[in-house]
Amino acid sequence: MSGLVVTWEALYSSELQGLWGLAVPPALFLAWLAVGPRPAGGGAEPRAARFVRAWTVAFTFESIADAALPALAGLPMLLFVLLGDFRVFLLMEVVAAPTRGRAASAVVAAAWTAIVPLVAWSAWTLLGMVRGPQPETVLWLVYEAAFLTLALWLRDVGIPRRRPAAQAWLRAIFAYVALYYGLWALSDVLVLAGVDAGWGLRIVPNQLYYSLWTPFAWASFFAARYAATSTDVHASR
**Interval 50-97: pLDDT, tens:** 999 999 999 999 999 988 876 555 557 788 899 999 999 999 999 999
What average pLDDT does the segment 115-133 reach? 93
- Ordered by start, the domain boundaries in the chain are 8-35+44-226+231-235
Residue 162: band (very low, low, confident or very high) from pLDDT cuts 50, 70, 90: low
Cβ–Cβ under 8 Å, residues 124 and 139 = yes
Number of C-beta neighbours around residue 204 at 10 A: 15
pLDDT band at 156 (very low <50, low <70, confident <90, very high): confident
> CA-CA distance, 126 to 185, in Å (whole number)?
20
Give the list of residues 6+ apart from residue 29 with CB closer than 8 angstroms, or none. 60, 211, 214, 215
- pLDDT in the model for residue 237: 47
Q: Residue 227's pLDDT band (boundaries 50, 70, 90)?
A: confident
Which pLDDT band holds residue 124 (cuts at 50, 70, 90)?
very high
Could you tell me which residue, 230 or 133, shows the higher pLDDT? Answer: 133
Q: How far is CA 52 from CA 56, 59, 148, 198, 222, in A?
A: 6, 10, 24, 34, 10
Count CB-CB contacts under 10 A for residue 146.
19
**1 has a pLDDT exceeding 50:** no
CA 34 to chain centre: 23
Q: Which residue has the higher pLDDT, 97 or 234?
A: 97
Is the predicted pLDDT of residue 39 greater than 70, yes or no?
A: yes
Q: What is the pLDDT of residues 130-153, one digit of tens each?
A: 988 888 889 999 999 999 999 999
Q: What is the mean pLDDT of residues 20-46?
A: 91
The per-residue pLDDT for 2 is 45
Q: Which residues contact 199 (CB under 8 A, 6 or more apart)?
A: 7, 8, 9, 11, 12, 187, 191
Q: How far apart are CA 173 and CA 226, in angstroms?
A: 11
Q: Output the CA–CA distances (angstroms, integers) from residue 5 to 2, 12, 199, in the order listed.
A: 8, 14, 15
As a whole number, the mean pLDDT across the chain is 89
